[in-house]
Amino acid sequence: MVIRPWKENPMNPTEPHFDQPPGQIGGNYRDELPEVITSYLKAHHARDLDTAIERYTDDASVTDEGRTYNGPDEIREWLSRSANEFTYTINMTAAIKLGDERYDVAHHLEGNFPGGKVDLHFRFTLHDGKIARLVIEE
């Protein structure tokens, strides 16, 4: 897979450490995350909009900062806007399987957004090998 940065975004966040050998993260192993999640996170962090959108179901929803985005058009708009709003670094700090097709992937972000630092949970629900729901919250 070729990851292309979004041309409209000059920001290059720190590469998440996906290419390190599998290791224990937050009590679980990174290699236990489904490929759809790891490839989505790579695409999201690299600003590869098309690859990120392909990882969602047609009726997927994303909730971020209390607002929900439904379907590919709204999710694409959210991805594009959120990628260009702030400059930040991001590092995965934990990955936990919550149940069948449910995962919590924690990240630490530092940047020029209000507060400057935050720990966020990316809570994924999968369906038929794709992301059906993503909730991002502290």
Structure confidence by residue, pLDDT tens digits, 51-74 = 999 999 999 999 999 999 999 999
Cα–Cα distance between 13 and 35 in angstroms, integer? 21
Q: How far is CA 80 from CA 11, 20, 102, 115, in A?
A: 12, 28, 25, 22
Give the three-state DSSP class for 130: strand
Is the pLDDT at 77 greater than 90, yes or no? yes
Interstrand relation of 117-127 and 88-99 (parallel, antiparallel or unpaired): unpaired
Tell me the pLDDT band of 87, cut-offs 50, 70 and 90. Answer: confident
CATH number of residue 54's parent domain: 3.10.450.50
Residue 50 within any structural domain of the chain:
yes
Q: Which residues constitute the domain of residue 54? A: 25-137
Higher pLDDT, 112 or 24: 112
Total domain count, the chain: 1
Q: Could you tell me the pTM of the whole model?
A: 0.77
More confident residue, 16 or 128: 128
